[in-house]
Structure 1
Amino acid sequence: MAVLALIGSGCDAIDLSRITQRDARTRVRPEPAGEHCPFGGQAFLSGLDQDRDGVLDDFEVSATDYVCADALPGVRTRVRAEPTGTNCLFGGQAVQSGLDLDASGGLDDAEVTSTEYVCATTVTHVLVRVRPVAPGVECPRGGQVTHAGHDANGNGLLEDGEISRKVQVCNEPAPVLSRVRELPGAVAPCEQGGSVVEAGADLDLDGVLDAAESNSADYACGVALAHLRLRHFEIEPGGGYCATKGTGVVAFEDSNGDTLPDPGGYTGTLILCEAPRTHDGDFVVTSAVDLIVLEGIDRLRGNLRIEAPTLPEAILPTLSIIDGSF
Protein backbone atom coordinates (compact mmCIF):
# COMPACT_ATOMS: atom_id res chain seq x y z
CA MET A 1 0.00 0.00 0.00
CA ALA A 2 2.90 2.34 0.69
CA VAL A 3 4.12 1.90 -2.87
CA LEU A 4 0.77 2.88 -4.32
CA ALA A 5 0.68 6.01 -2.21
CA LEU A 6 4.14 7.00 -3.44
CA ILE A 7 3.15 6.60 -7.05
CA GLY A 8 0.00 8.63 -6.61
CA SER A 9 1.86 11.37 -4.83
CA GLY A 10 4.51 11.49 -7.58
CA CYS A 11 1.94 11.89 -10.37
CA ASP A 12 0.25 14.77 -8.62
CA ALA A 13 3.59 16.60 -8.38
CA ILE A 14 4.39 16.53 -12.16
CA ASP A 15 3.15 19.41 -14.40
CA LEU A 16 2.74 17.69 -17.78
CA SER A 17 2.33 21.02 -19.63
CA ARG A 18 5.92 21.89 -18.83
CA ILE A 19 7.36 18.83 -20.52
CA THR A 20 5.17 18.97 -23.68
CA GLN A 21 7.36 19.30 -26.79
CA ARG A 22 7.51 22.82 -28.36
CA ASP A 23 6.82 23.22 -32.07
CA ALA A 24 9.67 24.24 -34.34
CA ARG A 25 9.16 27.56 -36.14
CA THR A 26 10.95 29.36 -38.96
CA ARG A 27 10.80 32.78 -40.52
CA VAL A 28 12.55 34.52 -43.41
CA ARG A 29 13.73 38.11 -43.52
CA PRO A 30 15.69 40.10 -46.11
CA GLU A 31 19.41 40.26 -45.46
CA PRO A 32 21.01 43.55 -46.49
CA ALA A 33 24.36 43.66 -48.21
CA GLY A 34 27.05 43.33 -45.59
CA GLU A 35 29.08 40.85 -43.56
CA HIS A 36 26.91 37.80 -44.19
CA CYS A 37 25.96 38.51 -47.81
CA PRO A 38 28.12 40.93 -49.83
CA PHE A 39 25.26 41.53 -52.31
CA GLY A 40 22.35 40.94 -49.96
CA GLY A 41 20.04 37.95 -49.79
CA GLN A 42 17.76 36.25 -47.28
CA ALA A 43 18.20 35.08 -43.68
CA PHE A 44 16.36 31.88 -42.65
CA LEU A 45 15.80 31.86 -38.86
CA SER A 46 14.67 28.78 -36.91
CA GLY A 47 13.97 27.75 -33.30
CA LEU A 48 11.35 26.40 -30.87
CA ASP A 49 8.15 28.30 -30.13
CA GLN A 50 8.78 28.53 -26.39
CA ASP A 51 5.77 30.71 -25.59
CA ARG A 52 3.44 28.78 -27.92
CA ASP A 53 2.18 31.92 -29.67
CA GLY A 54 2.62 30.42 -33.15
CA VAL A 55 5.36 32.91 -34.06
CA LEU A 56 9.13 32.66 -33.89
CA ASP A 57 10.16 35.59 -31.71
CA ASP A 58 13.67 37.02 -31.68
CA PHE A 59 14.54 35.43 -28.30
CA GLU A 60 13.45 32.02 -29.64
CA VAL A 61 15.86 32.02 -32.60
CA SER A 62 18.50 29.34 -32.16
CA ALA A 63 19.91 29.08 -35.69
CA THR A 64 20.29 31.37 -38.72
CA ASP A 65 21.18 30.31 -42.24
CA TYR A 66 21.87 32.71 -45.11
CA VAL A 67 21.04 32.38 -48.79
CA CYS A 68 22.99 35.09 -50.56
CA ALA A 69 22.32 36.73 -53.90
CA ASP A 70 24.88 36.56 -56.66
CA ALA A 71 26.76 39.66 -57.70
CA LEU A 72 24.54 42.16 -59.50
CA PRO A 73 24.99 42.05 -63.28
CA GLY A 74 26.85 45.02 -64.66
CA VAL A 75 25.42 47.47 -67.17
CA ARG A 76 27.00 47.17 -70.59
CA THR A 77 26.72 49.23 -73.76
CA ARG A 78 27.73 48.70 -77.34
CA VAL A 79 27.63 50.80 -80.49
CA ARG A 80 26.51 49.59 -83.88
CA ALA A 81 26.43 51.40 -87.21
CA GLU A 82 22.89 52.49 -88.12
CA PRO A 83 22.18 52.59 -91.85
CA THR A 84 20.18 55.29 -93.57
CA GLY A 85 16.51 54.68 -92.89
CA THR A 86 13.62 55.30 -90.54
CA ASN A 87 15.69 55.66 -87.38
CA CYS A 88 18.37 57.89 -88.91
CA LEU A 89 17.55 59.74 -92.10
CA PHE A 90 21.26 60.13 -92.95
CA GLY A 91 22.60 57.15 -91.02
CA GLY A 92 24.43 57.21 -87.71
CA GLN A 93 25.00 54.96 -84.71
CA ALA A 94 22.76 52.75 -82.57
CA VAL A 95 23.83 52.86 -78.91
CA GLN A 96 22.49 49.73 -77.20
CA SER A 97 22.51 49.02 -73.46
CA GLY A 98 21.41 46.33 -71.01
CA LEU A 99 22.51 44.09 -68.12
CA ASP A 100 25.30 41.56 -68.60
CA LEU A 101 23.19 38.70 -67.25
CA ASP A 102 25.63 35.93 -68.18
CA ALA A 103 28.65 37.85 -66.82
CA SER A 104 30.42 37.47 -70.15
CA GLY A 105 31.82 40.98 -70.01
CA GLY A 106 29.95 41.97 -73.17
CA LEU A 107 26.40 42.77 -74.23
CA ASP A 108 24.71 39.96 -76.14
CA ASP A 109 21.76 40.48 -78.47
CA ALA A 110 19.33 38.92 -75.98
CA GLU A 111 20.55 41.29 -73.23
CA VAL A 112 19.78 44.52 -75.11
CA THR A 113 16.92 46.34 -73.37
CA SER A 114 17.37 49.90 -74.64
CA THR A 115 18.51 51.49 -77.89
CA GLU A 116 19.21 55.14 -78.62
CA TYR A 117 20.17 56.46 -82.01
CA VAL A 118 22.81 59.11 -82.59
CA CYS A 119 22.14 60.34 -86.10
CA ALA A 120 24.20 62.30 -88.57
CA THR A 121 22.66 65.47 -89.97
CA THR A 122 23.09 67.78 -92.93
CA VAL A 123 24.69 70.42 -90.68
CA THR A 124 28.36 70.02 -89.75
CA HIS A 125 28.99 69.12 -86.08
CA VAL A 126 25.26 68.96 -85.29
CA LEU A 127 23.97 65.60 -84.05
CA VAL A 128 20.60 64.27 -82.99
CA ARG A 129 19.91 61.59 -80.39
CA VAL A 130 16.67 59.65 -80.68
CA ARG A 131 15.20 57.64 -77.81
CA PRO A 132 12.03 55.52 -78.20
CA VAL A 133 9.08 56.32 -75.91
CA ALA A 134 6.97 53.42 -74.66
CA PRO A 135 3.17 53.64 -74.99
CA GLY A 136 1.69 55.66 -72.13
CA VAL A 137 -0.51 58.60 -71.23
CA GLU A 138 1.30 61.15 -73.40
CA CYS A 139 1.77 58.83 -76.38
CA PRO A 140 -0.80 55.99 -76.33
CA ARG A 141 0.92 54.26 -79.26
CA GLY A 142 4.46 55.15 -78.28
CA GLY A 143 6.74 57.65 -79.94
CA GLN A 144 10.20 59.10 -79.63
CA VAL A 145 12.13 61.92 -77.98
CA THR A 146 14.65 63.71 -80.17
CA HIS A 147 17.55 65.69 -78.72
CA ALA A 148 19.76 67.88 -80.88
CA GLY A 149 22.85 69.97 -80.36
CA HIS A 150 26.42 70.70 -81.40
CA ASP A 151 29.03 67.98 -80.90
CA ALA A 152 31.33 70.38 -79.03
CA ASN A 153 34.02 67.83 -78.11
CA GLY A 154 33.94 66.11 -81.50
CA ASN A 155 33.59 62.58 -80.11
CA GLY A 156 30.72 61.70 -82.43
CA LEU A 157 28.24 61.31 -79.55
CA LEU A 158 25.67 63.85 -78.38
CA GLU A 159 26.24 64.19 -74.65
CA ASP A 160 23.72 65.63 -72.19
CA GLY A 161 25.63 68.89 -71.82
CA GLU A 162 25.60 69.43 -75.59
CA ILE A 163 21.81 69.23 -76.01
CA SER A 164 20.13 72.51 -76.94
CA ARG A 165 16.73 71.32 -78.24
CA LYS A 166 14.36 68.53 -77.20
CA VAL A 167 11.18 67.51 -79.00
CA GLN A 168 8.77 64.66 -78.33
CA VAL A 169 6.66 63.14 -81.10
CA CYS A 170 3.97 60.48 -80.83
CA ASN A 171 3.24 57.65 -83.23
CA GLU A 172 -0.17 58.01 -84.85
CA PRO A 173 -0.29 55.44 -87.65
CA ALA A 174 -3.73 55.42 -89.21
CA PRO A 175 -5.29 54.00 -92.38
CA VAL A 176 -6.38 56.37 -95.13
CA LEU A 177 -10.11 56.57 -95.75
CA SER A 178 -12.06 58.35 -98.48
CA ARG A 179 -15.63 59.39 -99.02
CA VAL A 180 -17.84 61.13 -101.59
CA ARG A 181 -20.59 63.54 -100.67
CA GLU A 182 -23.07 65.54 -102.69
CA LEU A 183 -22.40 69.20 -103.31
CA PRO A 184 -25.54 71.32 -103.69
CA GLY A 185 -25.85 74.01 -106.32
CA ALA A 186 -24.56 77.54 -105.86
CA VAL A 187 -21.64 76.34 -103.73
CA ALA A 188 -18.15 77.28 -104.90
CA PRO A 189 -16.43 76.06 -106.92
CA CYS A 190 -19.41 74.20 -108.43
CA GLU A 191 -22.18 76.66 -109.27
CA GLN A 192 -24.33 73.88 -110.76
CA GLY A 193 -23.70 71.42 -107.95
CA GLY A 194 -21.90 68.11 -108.18
CA SER A 195 -19.84 66.00 -105.80
CA VAL A 196 -16.79 66.40 -103.59
CA VAL A 197 -14.20 63.68 -103.00
CA GLU A 198 -12.47 63.75 -99.60
CA ALA A 199 -9.69 61.70 -98.02
CA GLY A 200 -7.77 61.65 -94.77
CA ALA A 201 -6.28 59.51 -92.04
CA ASP A 202 -8.68 57.71 -89.70
CA LEU A 203 -7.01 59.09 -86.57
CA ASP A 204 -9.59 57.74 -84.11
CA LEU A 205 -9.63 54.34 -85.87
CA ASP A 206 -13.42 54.17 -85.95
CA GLY A 207 -13.56 53.18 -89.62
CA VAL A 208 -15.31 56.42 -90.62
CA LEU A 209 -13.77 59.51 -92.18
CA ASP A 210 -14.99 62.31 -89.93
CA ALA A 211 -15.11 65.93 -91.05
CA ALA A 212 -12.18 66.82 -88.78
CA GLU A 213 -10.08 64.02 -90.32
CA SER A 214 -10.58 65.11 -93.94
CA ASN A 215 -7.49 67.03 -95.07
CA SER A 216 -7.60 66.60 -98.84
CA ALA A 217 -10.44 67.21 -101.28
CA ASP A 218 -11.23 67.47 -104.98
CA TYR A 219 -14.41 68.71 -106.65
CA ALA A 220 -16.30 66.86 -109.38
CA CYS A 221 -18.56 69.62 -110.62
CA GLY A 222 -21.65 68.47 -112.47
CA VAL A 223 -21.00 64.80 -111.65
CA ALA A 224 -23.71 62.91 -109.78
CA LEU A 225 -22.76 61.09 -106.61
CA ALA A 226 -23.86 57.73 -108.06
CA HIS A 227 -21.49 58.09 -111.03
CA LEU A 228 -18.27 58.44 -109.02
CA ARG A 229 -15.85 55.58 -108.39
CA LEU A 230 -12.87 55.54 -105.99
CA ARG A 231 -9.72 53.45 -106.02
CA HIS A 232 -6.82 53.45 -103.52
CA PHE A 233 -3.20 52.70 -104.36
CA GLU A 234 0.04 52.66 -102.37
CA ILE A 235 2.78 55.25 -102.82
CA GLU A 236 6.35 54.23 -102.10
CA PRO A 237 8.85 56.66 -100.53
CA GLY A 238 10.52 59.06 -102.93
CA GLY A 239 9.32 59.61 -106.44
CA GLY A 240 8.46 63.23 -105.76
CA TYR A 241 5.33 62.53 -103.71
CA CYS A 242 6.10 61.36 -100.16
CA ALA A 243 9.28 61.12 -98.10
CA THR A 244 7.64 58.17 -96.33
CA LYS A 245 4.97 55.84 -97.67
CA GLY A 246 1.59 57.16 -98.67
CA THR A 247 -1.77 56.40 -100.19
CA GLY A 248 -3.26 57.71 -103.40
CA VAL A 249 -7.00 57.99 -104.05
CA VAL A 250 -8.13 58.07 -107.68
CA ALA A 251 -11.66 59.30 -108.34
CA PHE A 252 -13.28 59.05 -111.77
CA GLU A 253 -16.65 59.39 -113.47
CA ASP A 254 -18.35 56.14 -114.50
CA SER A 255 -21.78 57.03 -115.88
CA ASN A 256 -22.43 53.71 -117.68
CA GLY A 257 -21.47 51.44 -114.77
CA ASP A 258 -18.67 49.54 -116.52
CA THR A 259 -16.24 50.41 -113.65
CA LEU A 260 -13.99 52.23 -116.13
CA PRO A 261 -13.42 55.98 -116.46
CA ASP A 262 -15.71 57.70 -118.93
CA PRO A 263 -13.81 59.08 -121.94
CA GLY A 264 -13.48 62.81 -121.37
CA GLY A 265 -15.17 62.49 -117.99
CA TYR A 266 -14.01 63.72 -114.60
CA THR A 267 -10.87 62.25 -113.02
CA GLY A 268 -9.01 63.40 -109.93
CA THR A 269 -6.24 62.15 -107.68
CA LEU A 270 -5.62 62.82 -103.99
CA ILE A 271 -2.22 62.07 -102.42
CA LEU A 272 -1.90 61.48 -98.68
CA CYS A 273 1.53 60.84 -97.20
CA GLU A 274 1.89 58.80 -94.04
CA ALA A 275 2.56 61.00 -91.04
CA PRO A 276 2.98 58.60 -88.11
CA ARG A 277 5.27 60.88 -86.05
CA THR A 278 3.20 63.81 -84.82
CA HIS A 279 4.20 66.79 -82.68
CA ASP A 280 1.46 68.72 -80.90
CA GLY A 281 1.98 72.46 -80.52
CA ASP A 282 3.61 75.36 -82.31
CA PHE A 283 7.23 75.10 -83.41
CA VAL A 284 9.65 78.02 -83.81
CA VAL A 285 12.88 77.62 -85.76
CA THR A 286 15.60 79.99 -84.55
CA SER A 287 18.73 78.03 -85.50
CA ALA A 288 20.05 75.16 -87.57
CA VAL A 289 19.64 72.86 -84.56
CA ASP A 290 15.89 73.56 -84.48
CA LEU A 291 15.66 72.80 -88.17
CA ILE A 292 17.45 69.48 -87.69
CA VAL A 293 14.96 68.42 -84.99
CA LEU A 294 12.13 68.91 -87.48
CA GLU A 295 13.62 66.10 -89.57
CA GLY A 296 12.12 63.67 -87.05
CA ILE A 297 8.58 65.04 -87.40
CA ASP A 298 6.10 63.95 -90.09
CA ARG A 299 3.14 66.03 -88.93
CA LEU A 300 3.02 69.29 -86.99
CA ARG A 301 -0.31 69.84 -85.29
CA GLY A 302 0.27 73.55 -84.80
CA ASN A 303 1.90 76.58 -86.41
CA LEU A 304 5.43 76.68 -87.83
CA ARG A 305 7.42 79.91 -87.62
CA ILE A 306 10.95 80.36 -88.94
CA GLU A 307 12.77 83.18 -87.17
CA ALA A 308 16.34 82.47 -88.24
CA PRO A 309 17.55 85.16 -90.67
CA THR A 310 21.02 83.57 -90.90
CA LEU A 311 19.68 80.30 -92.33
CA PRO A 312 20.16 80.32 -96.11
CA GLU A 313 17.30 77.86 -96.66
CA ALA A 314 14.91 75.59 -94.77
CA ILE A 315 14.56 72.08 -96.19
CA LEU A 316 12.07 69.82 -94.40
CA PRO A 317 12.29 66.40 -96.07
CA THR A 318 9.90 64.49 -93.79
CA LEU A 319 7.42 67.15 -92.63
CA SER A 320 4.46 66.41 -94.88
CA ILE A 321 1.53 67.90 -92.93
CA ILE A 322 1.27 71.24 -91.09
CA ASP A 323 -2.17 71.67 -89.57
CA GLY A 324 -1.62 75.32 -88.65
CA SER A 325 -0.07 78.23 -90.50
CA PHE A 326 3.41 78.38 -92.02
Structure 2
Amino acid sequence: MSLFWRIFALNAVVLGIATALLLWAPVTVSVPVVLTEAVILVAGLVVMLVANAALLRIGLAPLDRLTRLMTTVDLLRPGQRLPEQGRGETAELIRTFNAMVERLEHERATSSARVLVGQEAERRRIAQELHDEVGQSMTAILLVLKRAADDADEPLRGELRQVQEITRGSLDEVRRLVRRLRPDVLEDLGLISALTSLTTGFATHAGLRVVRRFDSGLPALDQQTELVLYRVAQEALTNAARHAEAGLVEVSLHHTDGTITLAVVDDGRGTGAVREGAGIRGMRERALLIGATLDVTSQPHAGTQVRLTVPVPRKQP
Protein backbone atom coordinates (compact mmCIF):
# COMPACT_ATOMS: atom_id res chain seq x y z
CA MET A 1 0.00 0.00 0.00
CA SER A 2 1.37 3.41 -0.96
CA LEU A 3 1.93 6.20 1.54
CA PHE A 4 -1.05 8.13 0.17
CA TRP A 5 -3.47 5.26 0.68
CA ARG A 6 -2.12 4.49 4.14
CA ILE A 7 -2.68 8.08 5.29
CA PHE A 8 -6.09 8.12 3.59
CA ALA A 9 -7.07 4.88 5.32
CA LEU A 10 -5.96 6.18 8.72
CA ASN A 11 -8.04 9.33 8.36
CA ALA A 12 -10.99 7.33 7.00
CA VAL A 13 -10.94 5.09 10.06
CA VAL A 14 -10.96 8.07 12.42
CA LEU A 15 -13.73 9.87 10.54
CA GLY A 16 -15.75 6.65 10.20
CA ILE A 17 -15.66 6.08 13.94
CA ALA A 18 -16.71 9.67 14.57
CA THR A 19 -19.61 9.36 12.10
CA ALA A 20 -20.77 6.09 13.66
CA LEU A 21 -20.80 7.67 17.08
CA LEU A 22 -22.87 10.56 15.81
CA LEU A 23 -25.33 8.24 14.06
CA TRP A 24 -25.88 5.65 16.76
CA ALA A 25 -24.88 7.25 20.01
CA PRO A 26 -27.77 8.72 22.06
CA VAL A 27 -26.29 12.19 21.79
CA THR A 28 -28.08 15.24 20.34
CA VAL A 29 -27.11 18.86 19.89
CA SER A 30 -29.54 21.48 21.11
CA VAL A 31 -29.93 25.06 19.98
CA PRO A 32 -28.58 26.89 21.86
CA VAL A 33 -25.89 24.34 22.80
CA VAL A 34 -26.10 22.97 26.28
CA LEU A 35 -22.87 22.95 28.30
CA THR A 36 -22.91 19.16 28.67
CA GLU A 37 -23.29 18.70 24.90
CA ALA A 38 -20.46 21.18 24.22
CA VAL A 39 -18.17 19.29 26.59
CA ILE A 40 -19.00 15.99 24.85
CA LEU A 41 -18.35 17.49 21.38
CA VAL A 42 -15.04 19.07 22.40
CA ALA A 43 -13.92 15.83 24.08
CA GLY A 44 -14.84 13.89 20.95
CA LEU A 45 -12.87 16.33 18.79
CA VAL A 46 -9.82 16.03 21.04
CA VAL A 47 -10.02 12.24 20.93
CA MET A 48 -10.24 12.32 17.11
CA LEU A 49 -7.26 14.68 16.82
CA VAL A 50 -5.13 12.63 19.21
CA ALA A 51 -6.02 9.38 17.46
CA ASN A 52 -5.31 10.90 14.04
CA ALA A 53 -1.98 12.36 15.23
CA ALA A 54 -0.93 9.04 16.74
CA LEU A 55 -1.80 7.09 13.60
CA LEU A 56 -0.01 9.59 11.36
CA ARG A 57 3.04 9.52 13.63
CA ILE A 58 3.19 5.75 13.29
CA GLY A 59 2.77 5.96 9.53
CA LEU A 60 5.39 8.68 9.02
CA ALA A 61 7.95 7.43 11.57
CA PRO A 62 10.17 5.80 8.90
CA LEU A 63 10.37 9.14 7.07
CA ASP A 64 11.41 10.89 10.28
CA ARG A 65 14.22 8.37 10.80
CA LEU A 66 15.29 8.81 7.20
CA THR A 67 15.35 12.60 7.58
CA ARG A 68 17.50 12.42 10.72
CA LEU A 69 19.96 10.06 9.05
CA MET A 70 20.15 12.27 5.96
CA THR A 71 21.17 15.24 8.11
CA THR A 72 23.84 13.33 10.05
CA VAL A 73 25.26 10.81 7.58
CA ASP A 74 29.03 11.08 7.14
CA LEU A 75 30.78 9.26 4.30
CA LEU A 76 33.91 9.01 6.44
CA ARG A 77 31.94 6.83 8.87
CA PRO A 78 30.68 4.07 6.59
CA GLY A 79 27.93 1.63 7.45
CA GLN A 80 25.17 4.07 8.43
CA ARG A 81 21.98 2.48 7.13
CA LEU A 82 18.27 2.27 7.91
CA PRO A 83 16.55 -1.12 8.23
CA GLU A 84 14.65 -2.03 5.09
CA GLN A 85 11.27 -3.35 6.18
CA GLY A 86 7.96 -3.85 4.45
CA ARG A 87 6.88 -2.66 1.05
CA GLY A 88 5.44 0.47 -0.47
CA GLU A 89 6.83 3.90 -1.25
CA THR A 90 8.49 4.47 2.14
CA ALA A 91 10.36 1.16 2.09
CA GLU A 92 11.41 1.78 -1.50
CA LEU A 93 12.65 5.25 -0.56
CA ILE A 94 14.72 3.79 2.29
CA ARG A 95 16.18 1.12 0.00
CA THR A 96 17.04 3.76 -2.58
CA PHE A 97 18.67 5.96 0.07
CA ASN A 98 20.75 3.05 1.43
CA ALA A 99 21.88 2.16 -2.09
CA MET A 100 22.81 5.80 -2.75
CA VAL A 101 24.84 6.03 0.46
CA GLU A 102 26.62 2.77 -0.36
CA ARG A 103 27.48 4.05 -3.83
CA LEU A 104 28.70 7.39 -2.47
CA GLU A 105 30.85 5.62 0.15
CA HIS A 106 32.44 3.50 -2.57
CA GLU A 107 33.06 6.55 -4.77
CA ARG A 108 34.47 8.50 -1.81
CA ALA A 109 36.80 5.63 -0.91
CA THR A 110 37.97 5.35 -4.52
CA SER A 111 38.56 9.08 -4.91
CA SER A 112 40.29 9.29 -1.52
CA ALA A 113 42.59 6.45 -2.53
CA ARG A 114 43.58 8.29 -5.70
CA VAL A 115 44.15 11.53 -3.79
CA LEU A 116 46.25 9.88 -1.08
CA VAL A 117 48.34 7.96 -3.61
CA GLY A 118 48.95 11.20 -5.49
CA GLN A 119 49.76 12.96 -2.22
CA GLU A 120 52.36 10.36 -1.28
CA ALA A 121 53.89 10.58 -4.75
CA GLU A 122 54.12 14.37 -4.42
CA ARG A 123 55.68 14.02 -0.97
CA ARG A 124 58.32 11.72 -2.43
CA ARG A 125 59.03 14.11 -5.28
CA ILE A 126 59.42 17.10 -2.95
CA ALA A 127 61.59 15.08 -0.56
CA GLN A 128 63.80 13.95 -3.44
CA GLU A 129 64.23 17.52 -4.68
CA LEU A 130 64.99 18.78 -1.18
CA HIS A 131 67.58 16.05 -0.72
CA ASP A 132 69.20 16.32 -4.15
CA GLU A 133 68.99 20.05 -4.80
CA VAL A 134 68.69 21.98 -1.54
CA GLY A 135 70.62 19.51 0.60
CA GLN A 136 73.56 19.24 -1.78
CA SER A 137 73.65 22.99 -2.35
CA MET A 138 73.76 23.67 1.38
CA THR A 139 76.47 21.05 1.83
CA ALA A 140 78.53 22.80 -0.85
CA ILE A 141 77.94 26.13 0.92
CA LEU A 142 79.22 24.61 4.18
CA LEU A 143 82.42 23.46 2.47
CA VAL A 144 83.00 26.90 0.94
CA LEU A 145 82.36 28.58 4.30
CA LYS A 146 84.80 26.21 5.99
CA ARG A 147 87.57 27.02 3.52
CA ALA A 148 86.84 30.75 3.78
CA ALA A 149 86.85 30.62 7.59
CA ASP A 150 90.14 28.73 7.64
CA ASP A 151 91.79 31.41 5.46
CA ALA A 152 90.15 34.45 7.08
CA ASP A 153 91.43 36.58 9.93
CA GLU A 154 89.55 37.66 13.01
CA PRO A 155 86.88 39.00 13.43
CA LEU A 156 85.74 37.78 9.97
CA ARG A 157 86.62 34.19 10.87
CA GLY A 158 84.23 34.24 13.83
CA GLU A 159 81.42 35.61 11.70
CA LEU A 160 82.00 32.93 9.08
CA ARG A 161 81.94 30.25 11.80
CA GLN A 162 78.61 31.63 12.94
CA VAL A 163 77.23 31.49 9.40
CA GLN A 164 78.47 27.91 9.23
CA GLU A 165 76.48 26.95 12.31
CA ILE A 166 73.33 28.62 10.96
CA THR A 167 73.73 26.81 7.65
CA ARG A 168 74.38 23.50 9.39
CA GLY A 169 71.22 23.95 11.46
CA SER A 170 69.24 24.73 8.31
CA LEU A 171 70.64 21.61 6.64
CA ASP A 172 69.59 19.50 9.62
CA GLU A 173 66.09 20.96 9.37
CA VAL A 174 65.93 20.14 5.65
CA ARG A 175 66.98 16.56 6.40
CA ARG A 176 64.30 16.33 9.09
CA LEU A 177 61.68 17.54 6.62
CA VAL A 178 62.87 14.96 4.11
CA ARG A 179 62.44 12.19 6.68
CA ARG A 180 58.92 13.41 7.46
CA LEU A 181 57.97 13.60 3.82
CA ARG A 182 59.53 10.27 2.83
CA PRO A 183 59.91 7.74 5.64
CA ASP A 184 62.62 5.59 4.06
CA VAL A 185 63.03 3.68 7.31
CA LEU A 186 59.47 2.37 6.86
CA GLU A 187 60.41 0.73 3.58
CA ASP A 188 63.85 -0.40 4.69
CA LEU A 189 63.33 -1.59 8.28
CA GLY A 190 59.57 -1.94 8.77
CA LEU A 191 56.77 -0.38 10.80
CA ILE A 192 58.19 -0.81 14.32
CA SER A 193 61.51 0.79 13.41
CA ALA A 194 59.74 3.60 11.58
CA LEU A 195 57.48 4.36 14.56
CA THR A 196 60.46 4.21 16.91
CA SER A 197 62.34 6.69 14.75
CA LEU A 198 59.26 8.91 14.47
CA THR A 199 58.63 9.04 18.22
CA THR A 200 62.31 9.60 19.01
CA GLY A 201 62.48 12.55 16.63
CA PHE A 202 59.19 13.89 17.98
CA ALA A 203 60.43 13.74 21.58
CA THR A 204 63.62 15.55 20.60
CA HIS A 205 62.01 18.41 18.70
CA ALA A 206 58.74 18.81 20.63
CA GLY A 207 60.30 18.51 24.08
CA LEU A 208 57.74 15.95 25.28
CA ARG A 209 58.25 12.62 26.96
CA VAL A 210 57.17 9.75 24.73
CA VAL A 211 56.43 6.23 25.97
CA ARG A 212 56.36 3.41 23.42
CA ARG A 213 54.48 0.15 23.92
CA PHE A 214 54.82 -2.06 20.85
CA ASP A 215 53.83 -5.72 20.75
CA SER A 216 56.40 -8.09 19.34
CA GLY A 217 55.58 -10.57 16.62
CA LEU A 218 53.14 -8.42 14.67
CA PRO A 219 51.68 -10.07 11.57
CA ALA A 220 52.99 -9.07 8.17
CA LEU A 221 51.17 -6.06 6.74
CA ASP A 222 51.04 -4.73 3.23
CA GLN A 223 52.87 -1.52 2.38
CA GLN A 224 49.72 0.58 2.20
CA THR A 225 48.52 -0.49 5.67
CA GLU A 226 51.92 0.24 7.21
CA LEU A 227 51.96 3.67 5.56
CA VAL A 228 48.48 4.49 6.92
CA LEU A 229 49.51 3.44 10.45
CA TYR A 230 52.64 5.57 10.19
CA ARG A 231 50.83 8.65 8.85
CA VAL A 232 48.06 8.45 11.45
CA ALA A 233 50.66 8.22 14.23
CA GLN A 234 52.53 11.14 12.69
CA GLU A 235 49.41 13.32 12.49
CA ALA A 236 48.31 12.39 16.03
CA LEU A 237 51.73 13.31 17.42
CA THR A 238 51.69 16.59 15.52
CA ASN A 239 48.27 17.45 16.95
CA ALA A 240 49.47 16.57 20.46
CA ALA A 241 52.45 18.89 20.09
CA ARG A 242 50.45 21.79 18.62
CA HIS A 243 47.18 21.75 20.53
CA ALA A 244 47.22 19.41 23.54
CA GLU A 245 49.63 21.27 25.86
CA ALA A 246 50.74 17.82 27.00
CA GLY A 247 53.81 16.66 28.86
CA LEU A 248 53.55 12.94 28.10
CA VAL A 249 52.44 11.04 25.00
CA GLU A 250 52.03 7.27 24.89
CA VAL A 251 52.18 5.47 21.54
CA SER A 252 51.11 1.84 21.54
CA LEU A 253 50.68 -0.82 18.88
CA HIS A 254 48.86 -3.97 19.96
CA HIS A 255 47.85 -7.11 18.12
CA THR A 256 44.70 -8.97 19.10
CA ASP A 257 42.77 -11.69 17.34
CA GLY A 258 42.12 -10.31 13.87
CA THR A 259 43.02 -6.65 14.50
CA ILE A 260 45.97 -4.33 15.04
CA THR A 261 45.30 -1.27 17.17
CA LEU A 262 47.39 1.89 17.11
CA ALA A 263 46.74 4.27 20.01
CA VAL A 264 48.24 7.71 20.63
CA VAL A 265 47.26 9.07 24.06
CA ASP A 266 48.39 12.36 25.59
CA ASP A 267 47.88 13.86 29.05
CA GLY A 268 47.01 17.32 27.74
CA ARG A 269 44.13 19.64 28.49
CA GLY A 270 41.57 17.83 26.33
CA THR A 271 38.49 19.51 24.91
CA GLY A 272 35.45 17.35 25.65
CA ALA A 273 33.97 17.86 22.17
CA VAL A 274 36.39 16.88 19.41
CA ARG A 275 36.63 19.46 16.64
CA GLU A 276 37.31 17.54 13.46
CA GLY A 277 39.56 19.75 11.41
CA ALA A 278 41.57 18.89 8.33
CA GLY A 279 43.99 16.73 10.33
CA ILE A 280 41.41 14.38 11.84
CA ARG A 281 39.42 14.16 8.61
CA GLY A 282 42.64 13.33 6.80
CA MET A 283 43.21 10.50 9.27
CA ARG A 284 39.65 9.27 8.69
CA GLU A 285 40.22 9.23 4.94
CA ARG A 286 43.38 7.19 5.40
CA ALA A 287 41.55 4.80 7.71
CA LEU A 288 38.78 4.43 5.13
CA LEU A 289 41.40 3.53 2.55
CA ILE A 290 42.30 0.27 4.34
CA GLY A 291 38.92 -0.45 5.92
CA ALA A 292 40.06 0.60 9.40
CA THR A 293 38.13 2.38 12.15
CA LEU A 294 39.32 5.64 13.69
CA ASP A 295 38.06 6.80 17.09
CA VAL A 296 39.07 10.15 18.59
CA THR A 297 38.00 10.89 22.16
CA SER A 298 38.89 13.84 24.34
CA GLN A 299 38.02 14.62 27.95
CA PRO A 300 38.55 18.01 29.63
CA HIS A 301 41.83 18.00 31.59
CA ALA A 302 42.22 14.27 30.83
CA GLY A 303 43.90 14.31 27.45
CA THR A 304 43.03 13.05 23.99
CA GLN A 305 43.13 9.54 22.59
CA VAL A 306 43.44 8.63 18.92
CA ARG A 307 42.74 4.95 18.25
CA LEU A 308 43.05 3.27 14.86
CA THR A 309 41.78 -0.30 14.59
CA VAL A 310 42.96 -2.16 11.51
CA PRO A 311 41.46 -5.52 10.50
CA VAL A 312 44.07 -8.12 9.63
CA PRO A 313 43.08 -10.83 7.14
CA ARG A 314 43.44 -14.27 8.65
CA LYS A 315 45.80 -16.67 6.98
CA GLN A 316 44.17 -19.37 4.97
CA PRO A 317 44.91 -22.88 6.27
What's the TM-score, normalizing by structure 1? Answer: 0.17
Larger Rg belongs to = 1
Structure (1 or 2) with the greater helix fraction: 2
Q: Which has the higher strand share?
A: 1
